[in-house]
Amino acid sequence: MFDGYTASELVSIFVMQGFAGLILFSVFLLMALGLAIIFGQMGVINMAHGEFMILGAYMTYLTSHVFKGAFPGIYGAYFLVAIVVAALAGAALGWLLEWALIRHLYHRPLDTLLATWGVSMILQQIYRSIFGAREVGVELPDWLMGAFHLSDTIELPVNGVFVFALTAAISTIILFMMFRSRWGLQVRAVVQNRPMAGAAGINGTRVDRMTFALGCGVASIAGAAFTMIGSTGPTAGQLYIVDTFLVVVFGGAQSLFGTIASAFSISQSQSSLEFFMSGSMAKVFTLLTVVGILLLRPQGLFVLKMRK
């Protein structure tokens, strides 16, 4: 399939597709981190995770409109505000959902699956009623337009670089919180042994709610980033949720580093293959590889080794 390309062309193709893959990686990673934290902590598979992402995207869209109308002079700053708005909206809705629905369904994984799927459909309809069925897009501010020219054949879009930097920053913050903060310590204790964490003095219920809210907030940040690379529609979240599950399972549901490695390998192979095959063939190829590896390593890429 590499016939007809010169060596330098191939290098350019791989660099640029690799970079396109990095943007996909960013969205996957933010989505998967939220999903993995929630699943690891509570055993809840959140089928509405994609809709939390879209919530973030719509919040970004709204924020950009407010800025365009009220403060056109500083339109360039809208995205930074939008990230905060998206994160807060996602976290608030997540907090509410946990309180109203999820906490009544613990220990019933199939029921949470159904219930969150229902929530996802309700949210889709709400988006459709409020924002309309047509996809909406945001106008990128000037400082995010254009591209860095690395050579005659290689150029990297500024918005992509920005999204990637944002993802790196947020992932670092999440990892730091998980492994250095009091909250993270409580999450990890509850994940390993919920009854014993309670008997050691940890309030598992409160940790659950915070974790669910945080996971949803991160998904909404993914949605804010998503507006730079795609347009937002009521069902756009559905396109990402399956891939995100794939990332979480492939990485090993207990390991955040596994999630990172898995998001990277899946997005990169997807993106590089897409150039040489059709999009769906690339997906088939990626899926087959993942299935093959999971057959050999059912526990996922990364597993902690220790005495039990």
Partner 1 sequence: MLEVSNLSVAYGESEVLHGIDLSAAEGEIVAVMGRNGMGKSTLMKSLIGMIPHRAGSIRLGDADLSQLPSHRRVEGGLAFVPQGRMIFPSLTVEENITTGLIAHGDRTIPDDIYGLFPVLHDMRKRRGGNLSGGQQQQLAIARALVSKPRVLLLDEPTEGIQPSIIKDMAKVLKEIRRMMNLTIVVSEQVLSFAMDVADRFLVIENGRFVDEVAAADADEGRIAAYLSV
Give the separation between CA 55 and CA 224, rounded to whole angstroms. 9
The count of C-alpha atoms lying within 13 angstroms of the C-alpha of 2, restricted to the half-sphere facing its C-beta, is: 10
Using alpha carbons, list the distances in angstroms from residue 46 to 16, 28, 87, 300: 33, 15, 17, 20
39 membership: H or E segment, kind and range = helix 7-42
Give the separation between CA 19 and CA 16, rounded to whole angstroms. 5
259's tokens: 């999630």
**Beta carbon nearer to partner 1, 134 or 308:** 308
**x-or-dash string of contact with partner 1, 154-193, rule CB under 8 A:** ----------------------------x--xx-xx--xx
Partnered with residue 136 across adjacent β-strands are: 232
Near partner 1 in 211-270, by CB under 8 A? none
Say if CB 244 and CB 290 are below 8 A apart: no
Neighbours of 199 (CB within 10 A): 9
Question: How many residues sit in the footprint of partner 1 (CB under 8 A)?
Answer: 22
**Beta carbon nearer to partner 1, 15 or 202:** 202
The alpha carbon of 165 is separated from its chain's Cα centroid by a whole number of angstroms, namely 14
**Beta carbon nearer to partner 1, 181 or 278:** 181
Near partner 1 in 59-78, by CB under 8 A? none
User: What's the closest the beta carbon of residue 306 comes to partner 1, in angstroms?
Assistant: 4
> In this chain, which of 82, 163, 197, 260 binds partner 1, going by CB under 8 A?
197
Q: Is 198 in the site for partner 1 (CB under 8 A)?
A: yes
Q: Is 107 in the site for partner 1 (CB under 8 A)?
A: no
> In this chain, which of 69, 72, 201, 298 binds partner 1, going by CB under 8 A?
201
User: What's the closest the beta carbon of residue 76 comes to partner 1, in angstroms?
Assistant: 42
Say if CB 59 and CB 89 are below 8 A apart: yes
> In this chain, which of 90, 204, 237, 252 binds partner 1, going by CB under 8 A?
204
Nearest to 166 by CA among 19, 269, 29, 262: 29
- Name the one range near partner 1 by CB under 8 A: 20-28, 54-62, 271-279, 300-308: 300-308
**Beta carbon nearer to partner 1, 4 or 201:** 201
User: What's the closest the beta carbon of residue 262 comes to partner 1, in angstroms?
Assistant: 19
Q: Is 196 in the site for partner 1 (CB under 8 A)?
A: yes
Nearest to 239 by CA among 54, 30, 58, 115: 54
Interface positions with partner 1 (CB under 8 A): 182, 185-186, 188-189, 192-193, 195-205, 304, 306-308
